[in-house]
């Protein structure tokens, strides 16, 4: 299912890329766009995660540089039955987080310094469990490939502005009108691509994340804090890379208050309400039904790091 979903997305993005190329340069522009899109599809499958992490200047951490945070992710991964992902921190005052990678074996999770400083350990655990749920549900490939190709389409709109003035019908059948269409379509295409990442996946990741960490209320509290801070703490890297907005647990561009058609994220209040309807299962517990053929897996507790309490400092690392 995930393979078919990704293949359909890549096919759609390739067709859209070719369409914009046609509007800019006719058949020649469409052929060039096809070659570029094919190369980008191949490149983004293998490297889109690195590009996203690089865009946010994320630094990989381990047990020596961020022991509490690293152990938390390790124990949450064990609760979820996932391989240990690579763990990153990016320097940004806005509390937020995202996951990336083409599959669970090549996944990475990233948290901002703002998240580690402003949230309690239990809330951070809820956020990282949500990101691991995206990894488990294999959403990360589609999310990262989408971000890469949406950025490429936006870049193509700049070419339309710079080089699309040619009115020669042999090169541009629609003339300047085609250029205007291409310039308008490009930002709308990025929005449509974000909408292609179904907002129901956020609800699914919330639910599974609450099961992984065992505390729906901790995740609900984290969502409330992140949404409140995101509305007035600017994420400059996200503003420069708006096509990546759908990858974050909360939209980093602005506080989304309406659960409308064009929102990349569901309404935060609705997500919190859904979480508060779930039972607390204890740290590391799971409400997911187990198959009777297998005994229930023993839960591992998330370490109580103590950071975020009583003015104590967050985990130290090279970003400090």
Angle between the N-to-C axes of helices 268-276 and 200-213, in degrees from 0 to 180, rounded to the nearest 10: 40
* Catalytic residue positions, numbered: 131
What 3-state DSSP class applies to 209? Answer: helix
Taking the C-alpha atoms of residue 180 and residue 183, their distance in angstroms, rounded to an integer, is: 5
The whole-angstrom separation of Cα 205 and Cα 148 is 22
Query: How far apart (Å, rounded) are the C-alpha atoms in residues 195 and 143?
Result: 11
β-pairing verdict for 108-112 and 59-61: unpaired
Buried/exposed code over 138-164 (b: 16+ C-beta within 10 A; e: otherwise): bbbbbbbbbbbbbbbbbebbebbeeeb
- Candidates 115, 123, 134, 118; CA nearest to 77 is 134
């Amino acid at each position: 299912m995930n393979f078919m979903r990704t293949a359909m997305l890549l096919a759609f993005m390739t067709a859209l890329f070719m369409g914009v190329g046609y509007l800019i340069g006719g058949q020649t522009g469409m052929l060039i766009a096809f070659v570029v899109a094919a190369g980008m599809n191949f490149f983004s499958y293998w490297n889109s995660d690195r590009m996203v992490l690089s865009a946010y200047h994320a630094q990989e951490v381990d047990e020596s540089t961020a022991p509490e945070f690293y152990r938390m992710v390790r124990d949450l991964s064990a609760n979820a039955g996932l391989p240990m992902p690579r763990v990153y921190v990016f320097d940004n005052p806005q509390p937020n987080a995202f996951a990336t990678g083409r599959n669970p074996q090549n996944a990475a999770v990233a948290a901002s310094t703002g998240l580690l400083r402003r949230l309690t350990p239990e809330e951070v655990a809820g956020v990282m469990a949500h990101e691991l749920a995206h990894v488990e549900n294999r959403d990360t490939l589609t999310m990262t490939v989408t971000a890469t190709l949406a950025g490429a389409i936006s870049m193509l709109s700049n070419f339309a502005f710079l080089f699309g003035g040619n009115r020669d019908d042999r090169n541009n059948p629609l003339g300047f009108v085609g250029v205007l269409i291409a310039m308008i379509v490009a930002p709308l295409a990025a929005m449509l691509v974000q909408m292609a990442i179904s907002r129901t996946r956020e609800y699914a990741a919330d639910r599974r994340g609450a099961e992984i960490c065992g505390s729906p209320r901790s995740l609900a509290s984290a969502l409330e804090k992140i949404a409140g801070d995101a509305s007035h703490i600017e994420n400059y890297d996200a503003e420069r890379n708006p096509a990546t907005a759908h990858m974050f647990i909360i939209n980093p561009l602005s506080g989304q208050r309406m659960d409308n058609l064009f929102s990349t994220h569901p309404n935060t209040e609705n997500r919190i309400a859904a979480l508060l309807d779930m039972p607390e299962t204890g740290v590391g517990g799971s409400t997911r039904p187990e198959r009777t053929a297998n005994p229930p897996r023993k839960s591992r507790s998330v370490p109580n790091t103590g950071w975020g309490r009583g003015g104590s400092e967050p985990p130290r690392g090279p970003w400090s």
